[in-house]
Amino acid sequence: MKRTLYFLLFISVAINATAETVVLAKPKSEKDPRQVYILALLDSALNYGLTEKAYPVVYSEKVHSRARLKEVMREGRMVDVQGTATRPDWEEDLLTIRIPIYKGLLGYRVFLINKEKQPKFSAITKLEELKAMEAILGSQWSITPVWKSYGFHTITNVDYESLFKIIHFNRADYFPRGANEILQEYNKFHPAYTNLSIERDLAIYLPLPMYFFVTPHKPELAKHLETNLEKMIADGEFDRFFLKHFGPIIHQLKMNKRRTFFLKNPNLPKETPLHRKELWYSNKLHIKNAL
């Protein structure tokens, strides 16, 4: 019995000795729910198929702007991994795992509006009518230059929480959010900003993959993460994980009943895996071969 206990203790110590703590970027706001899914998927993927957790995931101690975050990751400091919408400079400077972690759901944009403005949005039937209204976006977000390139009337702000306040006080017309994030954000911010409302009739789609990016100083970590994500896809576990988190949201937002305007994303690198249909969320009722 003692030998068995010593053997189990030895195995436990050996596993803990080889465990590699992985540092994920800390969210900018404690009210930001977007990182919850990213953390859960990263933890599941890194430890997929293991009987003992060998890759515990923790948040970084500091919060960084998007530009600063890329630099500290490029230098191999403070942060190992971040899940974020792709940009050419990120794909150039970091190790990119080209598996859309939200299956492209981030590219479906639904709007937070001031509740008084629903009739104006319900009356919109043409893209030009929407372009004339004023959107608020994060100044460093991947979607912002695309939004501007299409001629949308756009203002920006660097502070995440301020974007919700701006809509609440009617200082912009709408705040386009990913279908994967809008309900969580509404539930978080509506108690403080009671004029917030989820627009009922419209959506915009453009391909906007969100990837895991890894510091170039840890290629083995990147390879392990990519290999396990591919295993999850092959086993059907990735889709199960996605639908567990977002199936009810897709249904609640009535995505297949919205008037959806389809745009191309001119900023996507040529390596974007648009040909791999299994990587993308698909609903034939409203995608209309957009990918």
Predicted local distance difference test score (pLDDT) of residue 31: 64
Residue 222 has pLDDT above 80, yes or no: yes
Q: How far apart are CA 202 and CA 254, in angstroms?
A: 10
The confidence band for 2, taking pLDDT boundaries of 50, 70 and 90, is very low
Residue 88 has pLDDT above 50, yes or no: yes
Torsion of CA 265, 268, 270, 273, to 10 degrees: -90
Q: 41-45, 214-218, 262-266 — which is least confidently predicted?
A: 262-266
Residue boundaries of the structural domains of the chain: 2-104+208-251, 105-205
Element (H, E) at 91: helix 88-93
Mean per-residue pLDDT over the chain, rounded = 88
Tokens 């501007």 belong to: 148
Within 10 Å of residue 207's Cβ, how many Cβ atoms? 19
Predicted local distance difference test score (pLDDT) of residue 286: 38
Q: How far apart are CA 127 and CA 131, in angstroms?
A: 6
Predicted local distance difference test score (pLDDT) of residue 226: 98
DSSP class per residue in 169-191? TTSSSEEEEETTTHHHHHHHHTT
Residue 71 has pLDDT above 60, yes or no: yes
Equal fold, 2-104+208-251 vs 105-205 = yes
The confidence band for 101, taking pLDDT boundaries of 50, 70 and 90, is very high
Residue 290 has pLDDT above 60, yes or no: no
Check: CB of residue 34 under 8 Å from CB of residue 179.
Answer: no
Residue 267 has pLDDT above 60, yes or no: yes
The percentage of residues in the chain with a pLDDT greater than 90, rounded to a whole number, is: 68
Q: Tell me: the pLDDT tens digits for 164-202? A: 999 999 999 999 999 988 998 999 999 999 999 999 999
How much is the average pLDDT of 52-65?
Answer: 92
Residue 4 has pLDDT above 60, yes or no: no
Collapsed DSSP state (helix, strand, coil) of residue 261? strand
Residue 5 has pLDDT above 60, yes or no: no
Q: How far apart are CA 254 and CA 252, in angstroms?
A: 5
Q: How far is CA 78 from the centre of its chain?
A: 21
Within 10 Å of residue 230's Cβ, how many Cβ atoms? 14
According to CATH, what is the number of the domain 105-205?
3.40.190.10
Predicted local distance difference test score (pLDDT) of residue 52: 87
Q: 73-87, 103-117, 259-273, 276-290 — which is least confidently predicted?
A: 276-290
Higher pLDDT, 23 or 184: 23
Residue 158 has pLDDT above 80, yes or no: yes
Residue 265 has pLDDT above 90, yes or no: no
How much is the average pLDDT of 78-99?
Answer: 95
Residue 16 has pLDDT above 60, yes or no: no
Predicted local distance difference test score (pLDDT) of residue 281: 86
According to CATH, what is the number of the domain 2-104+208-251?
3.40.190.10
